[in-house]
Amino acid sequence: MTERRGRPEFFLRLSRSLFLRLALVVVLTAVTINTANYALLMDLRSQGDTAINRNLVQYVHYLAEEIGQPADAGKAKALAQRLRMRIRLDAPSGGGQPSWEVSAEGLAGDMPDKYLRTWYSSDTVQAASIHSFHRIRLRVADGGHLTFDLHPTPEERALNKFYAWASVGICLLLLIAAALSMRWLLRPVDWLTRAAGAVRDGDLTRRVPESRGGELRELSRTFNQMVASLERAISAQQRLVLDVSHELRTPMTRLRLQLEMLPEGSASGKALEAMREDLREMEAMVHSILEAARLRHDAGTLRLELVDLAALASGVTERFHATDATLGLRLPEGPLPLRADADKLTTVLRNLLDNALKYGRAADGSCRIEMGLGLEAGQAVFTVRDHGPGIRPDALPHVFEPFFRADTARSRTADDGRGGFGLGLCLCQAIVQAHGGKIAVESKPGEGTAFVVTLPLR
């Protein structure tokens, strides 16, 4: 099914290719120029009052005079043998002379009558040709017609074939050279496409060369300036969040100490526990922000070890069996080893399962979650899928942004208290990218949401 879907997509991309369109423009332009030149040449040759046509008419009359009047078949035979041609007399009906035809010995091939193109016509002479075949028809004095068919020699035919193949080869070489030239000229477009894809995936350090001149160089420079401005803006935003998070750690630590040192009876147990819970949530939020920033800045903070992903996934799901959710687990038959940080990957799977448990409930309140692990194209692939209300299409590009919540149901102020800070998926993305992998989301409103984590087997 994937292959069948891929073919139409491939042809769709091919039909929209700028390179292909430019190549078609070049080919059509070359064909149009050659067709126009050929038409103009044939029109010039068909003009009656030209030097070559006047000489042709005179030459044909010389041939007719050599044959004699009335036309002598014997003389025509000798002439045909000497000039390697076929001569035919079409005598007028009711005349005293019969029609005849003579030709040179060993004359190869028949005259391609239906392909002959008339390029000269007058009251007495008509001339038509195709490649090296020529036919000249002359009206003689008694009303008959002498037809001279000129056939190419075997050497001429071999030479014509050589030139035909040489022309094809030269055209192919020119087309290849034109294609390579266009590919070279359009390399900045390819650079921009790849760089835009990298920026879309979060790599704000990507730049494109500014080695071409003209409009493409200006476009490359503008793109680099845009990405640099975007990088500065996001870096400033990240620094602000990090600075605030660092500054919050100290007062939160003092607040925790003060709560622990409160005298007995100074606050009710319920109020004290509520303050401790609020403090724990603030500490978790700050920890998530700092951990995501640390992983994005330096993937070397990972504690890599050989981890069996199948065993890790099975262990993470254990605590979810106690919930009211129906959890389906699909694992490979054998172990799936990977060098990774087991604690960080556990955090990723727990966050994804927590999200599915909180937001993946159907309209009747039931919750069905499916988690799978498999091997595709040399990569380990985790999939966590729910069958809840799904995520709006306009919200999908933002689900991995910090503090983003798709709807009010995910807010901390929701009536059921299920909402989060909007940092879980951001942390998941940072962990997965630190492992050299990718995380993606697929969702359709009313059908559910699926998160797909791809990790390279290194």
3-state secondary structure of 440: strand
6-46 pLDDT, tens per residue? 556 666 666 667 777 777 888 888 888 888 887 787 676 65
- Contacts of 221 by beta carbon, 8 Å cutoff, 6+ apart: 210
- Contacts of 175 by beta carbon, 8 Å cutoff, 6+ apart: 26, 27
Closest CA to 424 of 432, 435, 416: 432
171-182 pLDDT, tens per residue? 889 888 888 888
421 within some domain = yes
Element (H, E) at 178: helix 154-185
Residue that is written with structure tokens 């991995």 in the block: 400
Give residue 71's Cα distance to chain centre.
71
- Tokens (6 digits) for 339: 């060098």
| Per-residue pLDDT band at 167 (split at 50, 70, 90) | confident
422 within some domain = yes
How high is the pLDDT of residue 59? 85
How high is the pLDDT of residue 125? 86
Is 286 in the same domain as 390?
Answer: no
312-364 pLDDT, tens per residue? 998 888 878 777 778 888 988 888 999 998 988 998 998 899 888 888 888 78
Among residues 296, 316, 347, the one where a domain terminates is: 296
Residue that is written with structure tokens 């988690």 in the block: 371
220 within some domain = yes
CA-to-CA distance for 97 and 134, rounded, in angstroms?
26
239 within some domain = yes
How far lies 174's CA from each of 177, 179, 348, 357, 398, in Å?
Answer: 5, 8, 55, 63, 49
238-273 pLDDT, tens per residue? 676 666 666 677 777 777 777 777 766 656 667 777
How high is the pLDDT of residue 17? 73
How many other CB atoms are found less than 10 A from the CB of residue 301?
12
Among residues 296, 311, 336, the one where a domain terminates is: 296
256 within some domain = yes
Which one-letter DSSP state was computed for residue 400?
T
Is 356 in the same domain as 424?
Answer: yes
Is 344 in the same domain as 413?
Answer: yes
CATH number of the CATH domain containing 424:
3.30.565.10
Is 137 in the same domain as 251?
Answer: no
More confident of the two residues 153 and 418: 153
- The whole-chain average pLDDT of the chain stands at 80
Element (H, E) at 351: helix 342-359
Q: Would you say residue 53 has pLDDT above 80?
A: no
- Over residues 130-159, mean pLDDT: 84
CA-to-CA distance for 324 and 367, rounded, in angstroms?
7
What does 358-372 look like in DSSP terms, one character per residue? HH-B-TTS-BEEEEE
| Per-residue pLDDT band at 451 (split at 50, 70, 90) | very high
285 within some domain = yes
How high is the pLDDT of residue 297? 58
Closest CA to 343 of 413, 295, 274: 295
Among residues 127, 152, 177, the one where a domain terminates is: 152
| Per-residue pLDDT band at 439 (split at 50, 70, 90) | very high
Which one-letter DSSP state was computed for residue 91?
P
40 within some domain = yes
Q: What is the pTM of this model?
A: 0.52
Is 371 in the same domain as 446?
Answer: yes
CA-to-CA distance for 100 and 403, rounded, in angstroms?
101
68-99 pLDDT, tens per residue? 888 888 999 999 888 888 999 988 876 677 88
CA-to-CA distance for 66 and 432, rounded, in angstroms?
96
Is 273 in the same domain as 333?
Answer: no
113-144 pLDDT, tens per residue? 888 888 778 888 888 888 778 888 998 877 78
Which domain does 426 fall in, by range?
301-456
CA-to-CA distance for 40 and 111, rounded, in angstroms?
25
Q: Would you say residue 282 has pLDDT above 90?
A: no
CATH number of the CATH domain containing 282:
1.10.287.130
| Per-residue pLDDT band at 295 (split at 50, 70, 90) | low
CA-to-CA distance for 224 and 204, rounded, in angstroms?
10
Is 265 in the same domain as 373?
Answer: no
Is 410 in the same domain as 424?
Answer: yes
Is 3 in the same domain as 80?
Answer: no
3-state secondary structure of 8: helix
Q: How many helices (H) and strands (E) does the chain have?
A: 11, 13
Is 240 in the same domain as 225?
Answer: yes
Q: Would you say residue 412 has pLDDT above 60?
A: no
Phi, psi of 385 (to 5 degrees): -125, 135
CA-to-CA distance for 3 and 359, rounded, in angstroms?
33
281 within some domain = yes
| Per-residue pLDDT band at 415 (split at 50, 70, 90) | very low
Amino acid at 69: Q
Is 339 in the same domain as 380?
Answer: yes
- Contacts of 185 by beta carbon, 8 Å cutoff, 6+ apart: 212
Instruction: Give the angle subtended at the CA of 414 by the CAs of 412 and 416, to the nearest 5°.
Output: 110
Q: How many domains does the chain have?
A: 4
Is 331 in the same domain as 442?
Answer: yes
How many other CB atoms are found less than 10 A from the CB of residue 293?
19
